Amino acid sequence: MKLVFATHNHNKAHEIQALLNDQIELITLDEIQCFEEIPETAATLEGNAKMKAAYVVEQFNMNCFADDTGLEIEALNNEPGVYSARYAGEDRDPEKNMALVLEKLRDKSNRKARFRTVISLYWEGEFHEFEGIVEGEITTEKSGAKGFGYDPIFKPENSEKTFAEMDLTEKNTMSHRARAFEKMVAFLNAEA
């Protein structure tokens, strides 16, 4: 079955592709010749995910899914949340975003955080939603060169490594995106 992943982020597509079984053929926005930046102007992760999926449905009339992920830090009232990608500005610079988080947490002892991914799946005429959460903490400095986004400063619970210190296989055993995607795959397998 063909399924469009509404993203231009090749890192995300690579992570998801590693989780797919042979029955699902993942197609990215680039492969369907959709090169626009799909608006993400909703106030919630759920709203952004559905907005992106709905755009693909309206423009291309294909089954698709979109996700939105936020880093939610307890001591910062769950910031950056829906603004995670552009926390330090519209240029979406991961280095600036991490620096801002570390600066805001400099004098805080509570470093609890979680990554939350919401997937909106449009399948055969209906929208479905799936959520994945991984609890953890923000480290005091960056560590690791793998992954992307906030991975160098996020250490999941029960781990001594940041996401950026893990290889993709290890990260996929516990990541928020993997957890949400597993729920979606289970749904699709039941539908197929």
**Which of 21, 164, 147, 180 minimizes the C-alpha distance to 3?**
21
User: Residue 152's pLDDT band (boundaries 50, 70, 90)?
Assistant: very high
Digit-coded pLDDT (tens) for 160-192: 999 999 998 899 889 898 899 899 988 987 876
- pTM reported for the whole predicted model: 0.88
pLDDT in tens, 23-70: 778 889 999 999 988 888 999 999 999 999 999 999 999 999 999 999
CATH of the domain at 16: 3.90.950.10
At 20 the pLDDT is 76
| For residue 143, pLDDT beyond 90 | yes
Which residue has better confidence, 61 or 18? 61
Q: Yes or no: say if 12 and 69 are a contact pair by the CB < 8 Å rule.
A: no
Name the residue range of residue 68's domain. Answer: 2-191
Query: Which residues does the annotation mark as catalytic?
Result: 68
CA atoms within 13 A on the CB side of 40: 20
Task: State which amino acid sits at residue 111.
Answer: R
Q: Which structure tokens are listed for 137?
A: 């903490």
What mean pLDDT is predicted for residues 99-120? 97
Q: How many structural domains does the chain have?
A: 1
Q: 48: which DSSP letter? A: H
